[in-house]
Structure 1
Amino acid sequence: MEMLGLVIIIVVALGFDYTNGFHDAANAIATSVSTRALTPRAALALAAVMNLVGALISTKVAATVGKGIIDTPDDGAHGLTVVFAALVGAIVWNLITWYFGLPSSSSHALIGGLVGAGLAGGIDVKWNGILDKVVIPMVVSPLGGFALGFLFMLLLLWLFRRMNPHRANSLFKRGQIVAAAAMSLGHGLQDAQKTMGVITLALVVTGHLDASGDYVVPFWVVISCALAISLGTYSGGWRIMRTLGRRVIKFDNTSGFAAQTVASAVLYTTSHYGLPVSTTHVTTSSIMGVGATRRLSAVRWGVAGSIASAWVLTLPMAALVAALAYAVTSFVVL
């Protein structure tokens, strides 16, 4: 029975990874598609490949998610119920925000799900770890993305102020393709690892992995999560792509290149330190920072406000759904 539960957890976790892919595909490619540097299908294919590569590079974020959010449950069946409920909370919130075209955070949905299911299941939550590695980066990373986007765009405008506009446009159009690839690599570094952490947690709970010593993610988990998020990315995230690519600011090739480059830099830095930040938060704030260099009214702040509301609601709402899922699942299973 426990083995069946583990298989179900793995399938559901990979399902979450797939929804993460199509939910967050717009993060990497919306600007490139908006400026027509890439066709939608070419952009999605590029994002899928680079997501796969990024997911294979590191597992530091996976370790944070797997052992830094809640204590490892002692009982296998109980632990699987907690993990299952956390995934349900994350998937449901992902689907709700995807339906309404809101680029919320799949990462924070999963973390909120773990917290909600853990609390409902009587598992100790590592609040200090959440504060240091989730809440503070959640606040700092979008602020950093906005500030760096603003400054980097000003730098580009000054450096290329004397270049022929047609030549500059052609240069940054090619640059956007490179920036989209870099952004997709960063997305794979961040988002695929969170599902790796959850599956590894389930393997530890059921005794298939030793919880002592280093937190080692099995290679089959790494490659499975990498493929799932890549397939999800290629399936597309058209609703959210429209929000980021058209409704926040009006892009040109220079602003698109600037936003993607800044977002990539933030994602690489946070991944290096094992901080599970939101690719959505970072990308959106970078876009707004770039747009603010024109004038504050260039950013559609009403749309930005709706996005910010989804950010604020993600952790508690995913936690609430996960707690309800735990109550239902434990009633049926335990």
Structure 2
Amino acid sequence: MNNVTKTLLGAGFAVAVAVFVQMSFGAMPNSGFLVMAAVFGAYMAMNIGANDVANNVGPAVGSGALTIGGAIVIASIFEASGALIAGGDVVKTIKKGIIDPAAFSGDPMIFVYAMSAALLSAALWLTLATYLKAPVSTTHSIVGGVMGAGIAAAGFAVVSWGTLGKIVSSWVISPIMGGVIAALFLYVIKSEILYKDNRLQAAKRMVPILVAIMSTAFITYLTIKGLKHVWGSITALLPFIPQTDKPTFGVALSFGLVGGFITYFYLRPRISQRVEKLEDNRTDLNKLFTIPLIFAAALLSFAHGANDVANAIGPLAAIYDAIANTQVSTQASIPLWVMIVGGVGISVGLALFGPRLIKTVGSEITELDQMRAFSIMMAAAITVVIASQLGLPVSSTHIALGGVFGVGFLREWLERNDMNEQRLKIKTHIDRLHELRDQLHNTSKGEKKLKLEAKITEEKARLKATKKELKESYVKRGMVSKIIAAWIITVPAAAVLSAIVFYLLKGIGA
């Protein structure tokens, strides 16, 4: 399917949303702005599917545990399910409290212009980032959009700079935590399985433990992030658990530990049987991690759908609430049609445009196999759990990419002493440099000295190029630099775009 066909199909979804909204709410005052906002919301949802979902399934695809087609099917089902089942019925109208609602002076139409501008600007930025193969945070995109519109409406004083500071700090905290935890798990796998004399026996002992830890982490993660919007309904069904508005860390961890113990005792005999049929090589050992990776991709997608669908439907629900009730609220109920636009839009965007970023995350930063991908998925869940407990601001996108970086850099560090072909080239260049320097030291003739200095310069250039080639074989430095630059630019880029769109919409509505 070529890009033109994909674009037309995406546009078709947006048009279908517009037709539905016009037919359902055409009699409302300012219904034209609601139709426009619904199109922007559908566009934003598709961009979330195209860009953000790659973090959940990219490692599984890159490792070969899933095909791109399989990943798209699984992620589409679980993203939509997470949005529709656990997405909640109420959403904050101002994402992350980045600006004060009083900035809109109680004027619902100014609020409508601002939220519409935030949606469109965030979506446009995500489209550009996807085109550039840069996975970025959709939450940061919408925060930047809301901030830019708020500044355009009421000046810089309305911005909560402390909140913005937390977001900026997440640019550092998220990838470092994700990278360290992913590298730690990969090191454990290498030291406790791959570096053992009898790797099959080691796998028989360690794989059930590792998968049980993964189960604990994911159930805890899913409870904290994926069920928080429907926790009231769960506590009503389970009166013996603490009756709180959101799941506490203790309850979530308890669920996780129970799931982990069940997973361990269920898997231990089955892993033992499976190991008996495997050869003692890395390819066969990798197979033990395939099914856990598929479950991880599904669970991450469910939690993402439940949690991050608000980036698309939050502003849309807020716009609908403001137009229907002619007032600005800090919270808005989510109509079913709005949730469907978000959930289906994410799946449509993933199916049409997701493969581009899935390939980037899965194979264009560092080479992944199932063990490395398993470590990254573990880091994605555990980092969010730890950060939630410590109150640290983190981004799931930055965590996942940090995990990919961490795995790549650990490989580079562990294998730095392996005398492979490239390292032999480096040794040859270094030996040649020493030889030329010795000749230069023992030469007094001017012309010969100049020739030797030129040869030394050439040899240094060759050595530098070979070292760069070696580093790039583990982690693509250019890709890492591009992604980090996109992270830093996301909030200000979305803010500037949003301010421009706000003034355009305000002019149209005047």
TM-score (norm. length: structure 2): 0.59
Which of 191, 194, 201 is the aligned partner of 2:308?
A: 191
Within-5 A mapping of 1:115-154: 115-122=147-154, 124-132=158-166, 134-154=167-187
Alignment check: 8 A CA contact 1:189 1:271 kept: no
Say if 2:107 is the partner of 1:75.
Answer: yes
- Tell me the amino acid that sits aligned with residue 75 of structure 2: A
Equivalent residue for 2:362, pick from 236, 245, 254: 245
Conservation of the 8 A alpha-carbon contact between 2:138 and 2:311: no
**C-alpha displacement of 1:209:** 9.0
Partner of 2:506: 330
> How much does 1:220 deviate?
4.0
Q: Which amino acid aligns with 1:205?
A: A
- What corresponds to 1:108 in structure 2? 140
The aligned amino acid for 1:153 is: L
1:45 equivalent among 58, 62, 73? 73
2-structure distance, mates of 1:98, 1:106: 11
Task: Please name the residue that 2:207 is paired with.
Answer: none
Counterpart of 1:179 (choices 293, 296, 310) is 296
Deviations 1:284-328 (A, max 9, x none): 111111222212442222211111000001110111111111122
Q: Secondary structure at the match of 2:92?
A: helix
Deviation at 1:230, TM superposition (A): 2.1
Q: Which amino acid in 2 is paired with 1:234? A: A
Report if the CA contact (8 A) 1:62-1:194 is conserved.
Answer: no
Give the aligned partner of residue 434 of structure 2: none
The answer (yes or no) to whether the contact 2:125–2:141 under 8 Å persists in 1 is: yes
Retained in 2: the 8 A contact 1:65–1:194?
no
Moved more, 151-160 or 81-90: 151-160
- Counterpart residue number, 1:158: 191
- 1:77 deviation in Å? 1.4
Q: Is the 8 A contact 1:28 1:180 kept in 2?
A: yes
Quick one: which amino acid aligns to residue 160 of structure 1? I
Distance, in Å, in 2 between the alignment partners of 1:195 and 1:276 is 20
Q: Following the alignment from structure 2 to structure 1, what is the Cα–Cα distance between the partners of residues 124 and 336?
A: 28
Distance, in Å, in 2 between the alignment partners of 1:178 and 1:143 is 25
Residue 70 of structure 1: SS of its match in structure 2?
coil
Question: Within 1, Cα distance between the matches of 2:64 and 2:374?
Answer: 12
Match of 1:232 among 327, 344, 349: 349
What is the DSSP-based 3-state SS (H/G/I as helix, E as strand, rest coil) of the residue aligned with 1:77?
A: helix
**CA separation in 1, counterparts of 2:152 and 2:368?**
45
Q: Conserved in 2, the CA contact under 8 Å of 1:61 and 1:276?
A: no
Q: Using the TM superposition, name which of 244-253 and 134-143 deviates more.
A: 134-143
Distance in 1, Cα, partners of 2:148 & 2:366 = 35
Q: Which whole-Å CA distance do the structure 1 matches of 2:31 and 2:389 have between them? A: 34
Q: Deviations over 1:22-61 (max 9, x none)?
A: 1223212222222221111111010111112322324499
What letter matches 1:71 in structure 2? Answer: D
Between the two structures, name the one with larger relative contact order (CA 8 Å, sep ≥ 6). Answer: 1
Cα 1:213–1:80 change in 2 (3 A) is: closer
Q: CA contact under 8 A between 1:20 and 1:94: conserved in structure 2?
A: yes
Distance 1:223 1:39 in 2: 27
Question: Residue 295 of structure 1 aligns to a residue in which SS?
Answer: helix
1:192-235 deviations in whole A, cap 9, x for unaligned?
12223212322343353986787644444334322221222222
CA distance in 1, matches of 2:390, 2:95: 15
1:278–1:254 CA distance, 2 compared to 1 (3 A): same
Correspondence for 1:34 among 25, 38, 62: 62
Partners of 2:399 and 2:94 lie apart in 1 by 19
1:311 equivalent in alignment to 2:478: no
Larger radius of gyration: 2
Specify the alignment match of 2:323 in structure 1.
206
Amino acid at match of 1:254: M
For residues 69-107 of structure 1, the C-alpha deviation after alignment (integer angstroms, 9 at most, x for no partner) is 223331121111111111121111111111121112222
C-alpha displacement at 1:255, in angstroms?
0.3
Q: Is the CA contact 1:190–1:277 (under 8 Å) kept in the aligned structure 2?
A: no
The answer to whether the 8 A contact 1:37-1:253 is kept is: yes
Structure 2: stretches of 5+ with no match in the other structure: 1-28, 201-279, 414-470
Cα gap change, 1:308/1:214 in structure 2, threshold over 3 Å: closer, same or farther? Answer: closer
CA distance in 2, matches of 1:329, 1:172: 51
Q: TM-score, normalised by structure 1?
A: 0.88
2:133 is paired with a residue whose SS is coil
Q: Which residue of 2 aligns with 1:302?
A: 478
User: In structure 2, what is the Cα distance between the partners aligned to 1:222 and 1:33?
Assistant: 28
Contact 1:44-1:233 within 8 A present in 2 as well: yes
Aligned residues: 333
Gaps of 5+ in 1: none
